[in-house]
Amino acid sequence: MEKCVIIVAGGKGLRMGGEVPKQFRVVAGRPVLMRTIEAFHRYDSAIGVILVLPDAHRDYWAALCREYAFAVPHTVVSGGETRFHSVRNGLQTVPGEVRLIAVHDGVRPFVSCRLLIDTFATADEYGVAVPAVPVVDSLRRVTTEGNEAVSRAEYRSVQTPQVFRAEILREAYRQPYIDTFTDDASVAEAAGYAVTLVEGDTDNIKITSPRDMVLAEMLCAHE
């Protein structure tokens, strides 16, 4: 096995409302999290899939897999206190022979094969690959003295999967946790590694609200 993906699905779905966490909500007849795993399986049927879930959700996920006859091979790992700790738990399960490791949000089910090909290839060459898209809204920087306009051309909105050479990600996650770690790229950057950006995809949405569910249904209708 040369590639592996750690899919982090620890959200409680509070912004979505209701009792079912967003990663388990059904979009076009299939739970979001299953669609996410299937996207990686379509890209490479040999990729190792490690799914990080809160302990409280593991039985529910197992029941969903039976209900939907979900057969894509994957390993379930218990989540941690923060995303950082959840990814570190997942890393402990990655086989030693794996060369490239992706970390992906469980609620981004529309990641394309094109984006996966680009991020894995870029990480293989440069070490760290992060998909990003241009910012379309105007931006203002808030300071203690007020606020000021900044150039949006200098900024990008970051997505997942973020892909790393295995040795880089393992070393980065040996660091102690600090609350300025916003994603896996920031962890690698704090360990001294440069981040290479890859052209992201506006369809690679992160489902966090009821409005996102409506957009997700529309994207499924055009698959």
pLDDT of residue 18: 56
> Which residues are bridge partners to 30 per DSSP?
27
One pLDDT digit (tens) per residue for the chain, 223 residues: 799 999 999 755 444 455 678 899 998 999 999 999 999 999 999 999 999 999 989 999 999 999 999 999 999 999 998 999 999 999 999 999 999 999 999 999 999 999 999 999 999 999 999 999 999 999 999 999 999 999 999 999 999 999 999 999 999 999 999 999 999 999 999 999 999 999 999 999 999 888 888 888 888 887 7
The encoded tokens of residue 80 equal: 């941690």
What sections of 7-112 are H helices per DSSP?
Answer: 32-43, 58-67, 83-91
Q: Is 129 in a helix, a strand, or coil?
A: strand
Nearest to 101 by CA among 181, 194, 204, 185: 185
Hey, what domains does the chain have and what are their CATH numbers?
A: 3-221 (3.90.550.10)
Residues 6+ apart with CB under 8 A from 81: none
The encoded tokens of residue 51 equal: 């799914």
